C-alpha cells in the first residue's frame, strides 16, 4: 500500500561533493524516504556517492537529476527550505519537529519537498522565496555548521517520528480544493508583477522589496488552485481595464 512518505522528496541543490549525495541517500533510506532529487550537482553519477550510500544505492539509482530548482519542486503543494541564518525579510518558519509534522500531514494530500542548499552557502534568497516555509536546525551557536548529510538525517528523522505517530490513523486533514502547486504560484507571481507594472504601482527598474513581500504574503495565505485561478482572473480584468483607459486617453 502506498505510504504518505512516497509523496515526500528530498531535494539537494548544486551539491559539490558526491560523497555528501551518497551519505544523504543513506540518511533518507534509514528513515524510510526514497525519493531524491538533485539540482545541477557538480559531480554525479560518481563512485564516491555509491560508496558513501552503502546499502542505499537504490536511492541513488532512482535519483532524479534536473537543471533548476523550479523543475524539482514545480508539482509540489508544500516546499520547506532549510536556512541557517536570519533573512532580511522574515519568512514563515518551522522548527524541525513542526517540519516533520507538517510534511507528514500534507504528504497525504499532495507532493512535498524538503530542500537543502549548497554545502558552503546554503540556498540563495531567491531559492528560499520559492519555499512555503523555512526550517532551521537549532545547533550549537558556537559551532552551528552542519554537514549536509547530517542536516538531511535530522529532518528525515523528524519526518519519520511524525509518520510513526500517525501511522494507521486518518490524520491527513482535508480541503475542498488542493493547494496551488509551486509552478502555478510562480506563474501567478509573474502575472501579478505584470499587472502591478501596468497599473504603475510597481517599477521593475526600482523594485525595492515589493515582490518579495508580496510573495511572503501569498506564502502565508497558501491559496488553493481555485483561489489562485480567481486571483489571476482579477489580474486579467485589471489589465484589460488599464489597457482600455490607455486607448481612450489616446483618442
Residues 164-185: tens digit of each pLDDT = 998 854 444 567 899 999 999 9
Beta carbons of 93 and 133 less than 8 angstroms apart: yes
Looking up residue 76, the CATH number of its domain turns out to be: 3.40.1280.10
Overall number of domains in the chain = 2
In a domain, 175, yes or no: no
Q: What is the per-residue pLDDT for 173?
A: 53
Domain boundary among 166, 191, 217: 166
Instruction: Tell which of 105, 132, 166 closes a domain.
Output: 166
Q: Examine residue 177 and state whether it is found in any structural domain, yes or no.
A: no
The DSSP-derived string for 14-48 is S-S-HHHHHHHHHHHHHTT--EEEEES-SS-S-HH
Is the model's pTM score more than 0.85?
yes
pLDDT score for 219:
94
What range does the domain containing 186 cover? Answer: 182-250
Residues 251 and 249: their CA atoms lie apart, in Å, by 6
With a cut of 80, say whether residue 77 has pLDDT above it: yes
pLDDT for the residue 163 = 95
* C-beta of residue 168 within 8 angstroms of C-beta of residue 211: no
CA neighbor of 82 nearest in space, from 185, 161, 154: 154
Residues 149 and 242 in one domain: no
Same domain, 15 and 108: yes
pLDDT of residue 174: 66
The answer on 81 and 22 residing in a single domain is yes
For the chain, the average pLDDT equals 93
Do both 114 and 16 map to the same domain? yes
Query: What is the model's pLDDT at position 144?
Result: 86
The CA–CA distances, whole Å, from 94 to 72, 79, 167, 191 equal 21, 12, 22, 29
8 membership: H or E segment, kind and range? strand 8-13
Pair (132, 38) in one structural domain: yes
State what percent of residues in the chain have pLDDT above 90.
87
199 and 103, same domain (yes or no): no
DSSP letter for each residue of 101-144: HHHHHHHTTS-EEEEE-BTTTB--HHHHTT-SEEE-----TTS-
Low-confidence winner among 141-145, 168-172, 178-182, 203-207 (lowest mean pLDDT) = 168-172
Same domain, 136 and 64: yes
CATH no. for residue 202?
1.10.8.590
- Distances 10 to 15, 68, 193, 227 between C-alpha atoms, Å: 13, 14, 30, 28
Q: Does 126 lie in the same domain as 48?
A: yes
Average pLDDT over residues 78-100: 90
Amino acid at each position: 500500500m502506498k505510504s504518505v512518505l512516497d509523496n515526500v522528496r528530498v531535494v539537494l541543490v548544486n551539491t559539490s561533493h558526491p560523497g555528501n549525495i551518497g551519505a544523504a541517500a543513506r540518511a533518507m533510506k534509514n528513515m524510510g524516504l526514497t525519493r531524491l532529487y538533485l539540482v545541477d550537482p557538480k559531480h554525479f553519477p560518481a563512485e564516491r556517492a555509491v560508496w558513501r550510500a552503502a546499502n542505499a544505492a537504490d536511492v541513488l539509482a532512482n535519483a532524479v537529476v534536473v537543471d533548476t530548482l523550479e523543475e524539482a519542486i514545480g508539482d509540489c503543494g508544500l516546499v520547506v527550505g532549510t536556512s541557517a541564518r536570519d533573512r532580511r525579510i522574515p519568512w514563515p518558519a518551522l522548527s524541525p519537529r513542526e517540519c516533520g509534522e507538517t510534511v507528514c500531514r500534507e504528504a497525504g494530500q499532495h507532493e512535498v519537498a524538503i530542500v537543502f542548499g549548497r554545502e558552503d552557502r546554503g540556498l540563495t534568497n531567491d531559492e528560499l522565496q520559492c519555499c512555503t516555509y523555512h526550517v532551521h536546525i537549532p545547533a550549537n551557536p558556537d559551532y552551528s555548521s552542519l554537514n549536509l548529510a547530517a542536516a538531511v538525517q535530522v529532518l528525515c528523522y523528524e519526518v519519520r517520528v511524525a509518520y510513526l505517530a500517525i501511522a494507521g490513523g486518518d490524520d491527513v486533514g482535508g480541503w475542498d480544493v488542493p493547494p496551488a502547486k509551486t509552478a502555478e504560484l510562480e506563474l501567478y507571481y509573474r502575472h501579478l508583477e505584470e499587472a502591478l507594472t501596468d497599473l504603475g504601482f510597481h517599477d521593475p527598474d526600482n523594485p525595492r522589496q515589493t515582490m518579495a513581500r508580496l510573495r511572503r504574503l501569498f506564502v502565508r495565505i497558501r491559496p488553493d488552485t481555485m483561489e489562485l485561478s480567481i486571483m489571476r482572473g482579477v489580474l486579467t480584468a485589471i489589465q484589460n481595464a488599464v489597457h482600455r483607459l490607455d486607448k481612450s486617453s489616446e483618442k
